[in-house]
């Protein structure tokens, strides 16, 4: 298989490594930055550096365009102009309609691997980056069947799980579960900074709910401005829904209506349980909250002990008190039985523990 990668950063570099190591493919690469391209070559992410974009893709059977969302339509157009007639072209952008709608070509299938947003750059590329990761594919009805099938198989061979979805549903989904949470995080910190601004020195002990809710605030603008804008109509729809919900809660608060507030809060608990259970394989999720002194080694020892007992932790978060003297560890365990064993183990060590 002859694969071309246009844009050889973390994602493109990892595709190159995986295609070479897992498929025995031949990979040509292209980057506007000559030094990045040479680094990719040194690291073995590509076999050959193209002299130009057209040169990199000229005899490819599959091209992966790994460019920022904002320039995807242009770069994909350029690739399609240079790629062979029987070559499938895809991208890795995290919003899909903008590139899919701009691209009328039976060789193109939109794509979005859910992997590796944390460490950028080809130096962090790994052949196993996509192992078991969901990789959305958003073909249009006009896509050539044989090319779509080739891409689907290729992505499975890279180790990922291809999931076919239409571009609009993909973007609505991502707007709701990723882009809106980012917007909310930004709004929360801006609002808190403004509410507390006058107090200057006397910053509050904000506590874990604030820290968690704002963890993604101010995510890398080089990536996120593009994402927000490319998906702006789906995002605006979700924002409008959220604003309406805020106004409904505001009305219940203004009316001092405890039943309405309780019903709203209880519904949120059920919704969250349902959403998280559905997305994590292996059965329902149980959350344990453990109070511990916040000393070096406590979390580690506890996690290690659970590991020794064969209990895998799906999610973990430490909420320290502001002075770090103590804290609560939240442990998310998959499955009733492992959760019960984890609870016993933790209790035996003398730490207060409760199911959340």
Site for a copy of itself in 230-269 (CB under 8 A): 232, 235-236, 238-243, 245-247, 249-250, 253-254, 256, 258, 261-262, 264-269
Instruction: Restricting to residues 126-155, name those near a copy of itself by CB under 8 A.
Output: 126, 128, 131-134
Q: Taking CB under 8 A as the rule, does residue 194 contact a copy of itself?
A: yes
Q: Is there binding between residue 344 and a copy of itself (CB under 8 A)?
A: no
Go through 305-328 and write b for each residue having 16 or more CB atoms within 10 A of its CB, e for each that does not: ebeeeebebbeebbbbeeeeeebb
- Residues in region 195-224 near a copy of itself by CB under 8 A: 195-196, 199, 202-207, 209-219, 221, 224
Select from 120, 140, 144, 168 the one that contacts a copy of itself (CB under 8 A).
120
Residues near 7 by beta carbon (within 8 Å), at least 6 away in sequence: 30, 31, 65, 66, 67, 75
Distances (CA, A) of 243 to 24, 68, 175, 224, 240: 51, 29, 14, 21, 5
Q: At closest approach, how far in Å is the CB of 138 from a copy of itself?
A: 13
- Interface with a copy of itself (CB under 8 A), residue from 183, 333, 342, 345: 183
Choose between 318 and 340: whose C-beta lies nearer to a copy of itself: 318
Contacts for 315 with CB less than 8 Å, ≥ 6 apart = 330, 331, 332
Stretch that binds a copy of itself, among 29-37, 51-59, 141-149, 177-185 (CB under 8 A): 177-185
Q: Which of 306, 333, 339, 345 binds a copy of itself (CB under 8 A)?
A: 306
The distance of closest approach from Cβ of residue 136 to a copy of itself in the complex, given in angstroms and rounded to an integer, is 9
- Those residues whose C-beta lies under 8 Å from the C-beta of residue 223, and which sit 6 or more positions away, are 68, 69, 117
Q: What track of x and - describes contact with a copy of itself for positions 316 through 335 (by CB under 8 A)?
A: xxxxxxxxxxx-x-x---x-
**How many chain residues interact with a copy of itself (CB under 8 A)?**
141
Q: Which of residues 68-97 bind a copy of itself (CB under 8 A)?
A: none
Residue 219 to residues 12, 228, 248, 249, 332, Cα–Cα distance (Å)? 21, 11, 29, 28, 25
Max Cα-Cα span within the chain: 68
Angle at 285 between CA 283 and CA 286, to 5 degrees: 135
Q: Could you say whether residue 172 binds a copy of itself (CB under 8 A)? A: yes
């Amino acid at each position: 298989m002859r694969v071309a990668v246009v844009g050889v950063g973390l994602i493109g570099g990892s595709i190159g490594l995986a295609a070479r190591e897992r498929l025995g493919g031949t990979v040509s690469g292209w980057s506007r930055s000559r030094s990045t391209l040479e680094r990719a070559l040194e690291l073995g992410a590509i076999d050959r550096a193209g002299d130009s974009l057209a040169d990199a893709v000229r005899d490819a059977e599959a091209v992966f365009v790994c460019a920022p969302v904002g320039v995807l339509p242009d770069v994909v157009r350029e690739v399609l102009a240079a790629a062979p007639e029987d070559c499938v072209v895809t991208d890795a952008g995290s919003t899909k309609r903008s590139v899919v709608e701009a691209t009328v070509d039976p060789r193109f299938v939109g794509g979005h691997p859910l992997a590796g947003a944390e460490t950028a750059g080809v130096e962090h590329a790994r052949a196993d980056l996509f192992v078991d990761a969901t990789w959305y594919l958003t073909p249009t009805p006009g896509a050539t069947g044989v090319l779509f099938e080739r891409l689907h198989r290729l992505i499975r061979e890279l180790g990922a799980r291809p999931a076919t979805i239409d571009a609009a549903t993909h973007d609505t989904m991502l707007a709701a579960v990723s882009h809106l949470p980012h917007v909310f995080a930004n709004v929360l910190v801006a609002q808190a900074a403004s509410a507390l601004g006058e107090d200057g020195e006397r910053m509050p002990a904000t506590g874990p709910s604030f820290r968690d809710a704002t963890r993604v605030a101010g995510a890398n603008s080089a990536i996120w401005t593009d994402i927000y804008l490319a998906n702006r109509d789906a995002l605006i729809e979700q924002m409008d829904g959220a604003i309406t919900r805020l106004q409904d809660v505001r009305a219940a608060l203004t009316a001092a209506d405890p039943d309405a507030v309780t019903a709203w809060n209880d519904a949120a608990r059920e919704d969250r349980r349902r959403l998280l259970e559905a997305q994590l394989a292996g059965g329902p999720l149980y959350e344990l909250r453990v109070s511990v002194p916040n000393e070096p080694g406590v979390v580690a020892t506890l996690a290690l002990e659970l590991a020794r007992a064969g209990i895998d932790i799906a999610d973990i978060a430490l909420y320290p008190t502001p002075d770090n003297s103590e804290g609560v560890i939240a442990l998310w365990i998959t499955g009733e039985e492992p959760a019960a064993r984890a609870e016993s183990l933790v209790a035996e060590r003398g730490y207060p523990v409760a199911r959340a």
